[in-house]
Amino acid sequence: LTQDDLKKLAAYKAVEYVESGMVLGLGTGSTAYHAVNRIGELLKQGKLHNIIGIPTSKRTEEQALSLGIPLSDLDTHPVLDLAIDGADEVDTHLNLVKGRGGSLLREKMVEGACRKFVVIVDESKMVETLGGSGLAMPVEVVPFCWNFTATRLQNLFTKAGCVAKLRAADGGGKPYLTDNANYIVDLYFKGEIGDLKAASDEILRLAGVVEHGMFIDMATTVIIAGERGITVKNK
Ligand code: DER
């Protein structure tokens, strides 16, 4: 099975939680892509109806529109039944790192408004502790004096050997712009992040920071697809 096969397996399993009439948070990324496709397929087959989707990015909005999934937004639907989305890392407490696809702000807003948040991953995303993999923990920041903010972020985590880097757009010439016209500063840790809640509070206290990619106590279910099959972990 390829990694994409595993992503598809997890995604299709998650869509089994979808019932007609639900208002759904539609995730972003290569795993959520399969879930959105599956929802569109079931709508077309008449196996699902009266679904309303709230997309977590412009690219998911476009994918959902192309599938004929009726869309709305959080202003109209401040409480959602269920969100399905991928993650970059999942720890043993079902805390997540998300945002390597750049959509963390809208994802956190949508998924924070859901009664249930089902995370879909292939087994490569499972970690003991967040941040230790040496992969990015994204922070969305305003463009104004981004370097000032990046330096303050880096200085919050000197003990964990943190390095802050501005995310470049594809091609590297200019900064990546989020759907909200902000920048992303990626934090790379050598050691573990440690107390996630404390780290979250310190990051969010910095004026200039919009949101970060740690999703703490948000997932209600994680569906993990591995070579030996599917595992479902509930909070
Ligand atoms: O950017 C995001 O938050 C995505 O959901 C990401 O975390 C997972 O993307 P993937 O399914 O392509 O690995």
Task: Decide if pLDDT at 194 tops 90.
Answer: no
Helix, strand, coil share of the chain (percent; to 5): 30, 25, 45
Mean pLDDT of the chain: 97
| Residue 107 Cβ contacting ligand 1 at under 6 Å | yes
Determine the pLDDT at residue 2: 95
212 CA distance to ligand 1 middle (Å): 14
pLDDT one-digit tens code per residue, 104-137: 999 999 999 999 999 999 999 999 999 878 889 9
Asked which of 140-144, 184-188, 190-194 is least confident by mean pLDDT, the reply is 190-194
| Residue 55 Cβ contacting ligand 1 at under 6 Å | no
The structure's pTM equals 0.97
- Kindly give the number of the ligand 1 atom that is closest to the alpha carbon of 27: 5
The two beta strands, 114-122 and 183-188, are unpaired
Cα 64 → chain centroid:
17
| Residue 31 Cβ contacting ligand 1 at under 6 Å | yes
| Residue 103 Cβ contacting ligand 1 at under 6 Å | yes
CB atoms within 10 A of CB 116: 17
Supply the ipTM of this predicted assembly.
0.97
- The CA distance from 39 to 64, in Å, is 9
The structure tokens listed for 189 are: 């840790």
85 CA distance to ligand 1 middle (Å): 7
Average pLDDT over residues 45-53: 98
SS3 of residue 202 by DSSP: helix
For the chain, give the percent of residues with pLDDT over 90.
94
CB atoms within 10 A of CB 180: 12
Active site residue 107: yes
Strand order from edge to edge, sheet including 114-122: 52-55, 23-26, 80-85, 114-122, 221-226, 229-234
27 CA distance to ligand 1 middle (Å): 8
Task: Decide if pLDDT at 192 tops 90.
Answer: no
With cut-offs at 50, 70 and 90, classify the pLDDT of residue 139.
very high
67 CA distance to ligand 1 middle (Å): 20
